[in-house]
Amino acid sequence: MEVIFVFTLIILLLIIAGKYITLAVRDVTKRKQTERELIESEHRYRSLVEVSPKAILVFQENHIIFANQAAMKLFGAVNEQDLLGKSIFEFIHDEDRVELINNLTRLSKHENVAIREYRFHTLDGRTIFVDSVGTNIMFNGQPALMTVGSDVTEKKSLQEQIKMSEQRYKSLFDYHSDAVYSLDLAGRFTSANGVCETLSGYSPQELLDKNFSELIHEEDLAETIRIFHLTTQDGGSQQNNRFRLKRKNGDSIHLDTTTIPIIVDGQTVGMYGIAKDITEQIKNQEMIQHLAYHDYLTGLPNRNMLESLLANETIPIEKVAILFIDLDRFKIINDTLGHSMGDLLLKRVAERLKASLTEKDLIFRQGGDEFIVILTDSDRERAGAAANQILEALSTPYKLNTTEVYTSPSIGISLAQEDGETVATLIKHADFAMYQAKKAGKKTYRYYSCIKYEGDFDPLTMELELHKALKQKELFLHYQPKVNLQTGKMFGAEALLRWNHSKRGMVSPERFIPVAEESGLIIPIGEWVLSQACSQNKKWQENGLPPIVISVNLSARQFSHASIVATVEKILGETGLEPQYLELEITESMTFDIEHTISTLHELKKLGVLISIDDFGTGFSSLNYLKQFPVDTLKIDQSFVRELNHNHDVTIVKTIISMAHHLQLKVVAEGIETREQLVFLQQHDCDEGQGYFFSKPLSAEEFNKVWTRIERLVVKKKDA
Ligand code: C2E
Ligand code: MG
Ligand code: MG
């Protein structure tokens, strides 16, 4: 039993031992498997960690004890040793140091720390942004911290760039000095900056409810819609589009816009607009335009305007009549009373002109004292009536400040039906007719057509006949005495050319001299006059009459002719007249070329002859130039003397006399017809005079007879 028991026990023990052995063997196998698995797992994780594209670092007490390939690359390390053992704080950017310390402390306390971005300095000197997250781990049996991170420097800079460009765009939009807005394809506002409000008066919010077309001036709408479609349909930017914007308060302003299509994924979804307020600029342009086309003084349209109307053929010619108006003796008013008075006079003249015409008529200031009136619906009669009206309106004395000033117009008229095919021709012809009105004694008007057909002696025939006249001895001279107003003695005579045409009778020098001048015939004719006058004067002297000065008129062409000095010298030589008995009369219009005038006059003076300025006060020369001309005498134009009757030109005549005396010039008054005129001139120290009151121009024979009679006519100044 015992044996059985022992056996059984042994068996039992064996079974138990076997079981244990089996268990122990099993245990060892399992552990080995676990160990293997662990190693494998660690190996796997290590490999994973090693090749992970994320940078993985493990620290203990802030010192790096592990760094994977990506971490080495991130920090610019060549091998592990560059990092291992180093404190992470060697790499952290100063500004992120505190943050890193805090987060590492929290991690070590097992607190959660969200993903964070830190700046690190790398071993190769870069500064990088790293996104990282950390966790607690056991490493080599020791607690450690592991961080996983990636380099976000590039992403960050891209983000920065996007942010910057967004900010720039926003700034550009918000702070642009121009209005910036966008529209959708239907033309509704989708955005608008602050300037849009300044310009339109509508807030950006109010604009979002509107279509752009609601804001455009009706007249500009079609063009603006065209530009909108051009931008949004053809995809092209459109610049310098100008239109008027209706503001909220009802005003209009001018805008200049640039439109740019908004293209998203190749599709146009709307447009941007940039608009600038150019109202000021437009106003300035309009003002410049106005200044360019209007006379600053009178506000009337000027010559540029007339020329542009003519160039564009804006004026229908059918019923046009042109009045070419020139003020009589304006220059002298300007010179004696001053330019501001002259300006004032021109303003008043413009006002009176406007008042005496209708709205339909056009008035231009051609320049100086010339005005052009275009009557748009006129005929001969109406033009004559208008001219009469203007004559009356402009001849009424003007009260300028305290001075009473008198002027009158000379008017030339041309008519569309008769005088030209174009408005430009009509103006030229009216100008010519005005000149004839001047010649006819001023303060009157002349029709171009009448001049042309007057006695049907047209300029061409006249020129042919003049050629013959010289040969056929149809030309002769008349002499008009010139009297010393202080002594009553005759001191000279003016030689005046006459033409007794074989068939037509007497032709006025006013008519044939311009033709002779134009054709060049004045050169031989003028030479003949000079020679004739000098020899006649010499004859009187030889006949025992007291020596007098003979005055001969020179024409512009003669005066500018190169041989004038030689001709005068030759004639003096031929006739034997001493030069102090010859006076040459030139007019202001010949002194236009100042240099030439001065040199010719000096040469003539060297010969010893006298020089006078004829018709003084009607031409263009300025009193200032007179100082430079070596002249002896001024002849006051007869129009001033005539107006002495009306007391208008008293100031001007007095001024001319005193000014001439100041310049040591003698003054001769032309056209004295009455005793009153004579007395006035004597009282104001006018030196000499000439006119019908003493004698009309006479033939040489008649002249002998009046010699003594004239002297009796003059009451000497001291007796007057
Ligand atoms: P002018 O040289 O001013 O001559 C004066 C003109 O006034 C002359 O006209 C004369 O007859 C006129 N006259 C003189 N006293 C009076 C008066 O009291 N009342 C009025 N109403 N008229 C008066 P005329 O002879 O018809 O000559 C006209 C112009 O023709 C001259 O103006 C002169 O510019 C020009 N002329 C005359 N002869 C010649 C000449 O030989 N050569 C040139 N180049 N021109 C001449
Ligand atoms: Mg004369
Ligand atoms: Mg004269």
Residue nearest to atom 3 of ligand 1 (CA): 615
**CA-to-CA separations, 507 to 402, 456, 500, 526, in angstroms, rounded:** 45, 13, 6, 17
Average pLDDT over residues 660-683: 92
pLDDT at 569: 97
What pLDDT, in 10s, does the model give residues 542-597?
998 899 999 999 998 899 888 999 999 999 999 999 999 999 999 887 877 788 88
Q: Which ligand 1 atom is nearest residue 441's CA?
A: 21
What was the pLDDT predicted at 3? 47
What DSSP character marks residue 414?
E
- Say yes or no: domain 176-277 is CATH 3.30.450.20: yes
Which residue CA neighbors atom 45 of ligand 1 most closely?
Answer: 553
Q: Does position 301 have pLDDT exceeding 80, yes or no?
A: yes
Mean pLDDT throughout 598-602? 94
**Are residues 590 and 556 in contact, defined by beta-carbon separation less than 8 angstroms?**
yes
The finding on whether 295 has its CB within 6 A of some atom of ligand 1 is: no
> For the residues 287-306, what does the mean pLDDT come to?
88
Please report the atom of ligand 1 found closest to the CA of residue 496.
38
Mutate to test the pocket of ligand 1, among 530, 550, 553 (most ligand atoms within 8 A of CB): 553
Residue whose C-alpha is closest to residue 639's, from 612, 668, 614, 671: 671
Closest C-alpha to ligand 1, atom 27: 509
Residue range 52-150, CATH number:
3.30.450.20
Q: What average pLDDT score do residues 65-89 get?
A: 92
Dist CA 246 CA 214 (whole Å): 8
Question: How many angstroms does the Cα of residue 571 sit away from the middle of ligand 1?
Answer: 23
Say whether 283-450 and 52-150 share the same fold. no
What pLDDT shows up at residue 688?
A: 96
Q: Which of the ligands is closest to the CA of residue 439?
A: 1
The CA distance from 330 to 342, in Å, is: 8
Instruction: Give the model's pLDDT for residue 120.
Output: 95
Tell whether the model's pLDDT for residue 4 goes beyond 60: no
Cα-based distances in Å from 9 to 3, 4, 21, 299, 561? 9, 8, 17, 146, 171
Distances from the Cα of 298 to the Cα of 332, 367, 667, 703, angstroms:
20, 11, 35, 51
Return the CATH number of the domain spanning residue range 283-450: 3.30.70.270
Task: For residue 496, report the distance from its CA to the centre of ligand 1, in Å.
Answer: 6
pLDDT for residue 85: 93
pLDDT confidence bin for 1, thresholds 50/70/90: very low
Architecture of domain 478-715: Alpha-Beta Barrel (3.20)
- CB count within 10 Å of CB 324 equals 29
Each domain of the chain, given as residue ranges in start order, spans 1-47, 52-150, 176-277, 283-450, 478-715
> What DSSP string describes 284-330?
HHHHHHHHHHB-TTT--BBHHHHHHHHHTT-S--TT-EEEEEEETTH
Q: Tell me what percent of the residues of the chain surpass a pLDDT of 70.
A: 92
Task: Provide the H-helix boundaries in 52-96.
Answer: 69-75
pLDDT at 6 over 50: no
In this prediction, residue 720 carries a pLDDT of 46
The residue whose CA is least distant from atom 41 of ligand 1 is 497
DSSP state of 417: H
**Residue 525 has what pLDDT?**
96
Ligand closest to 482 (CA) is 1
pLDDT tens sequence across 368-421: 999 999 998 888 889 999 999 999 999 999 998 888 888 999 999 999 878 888
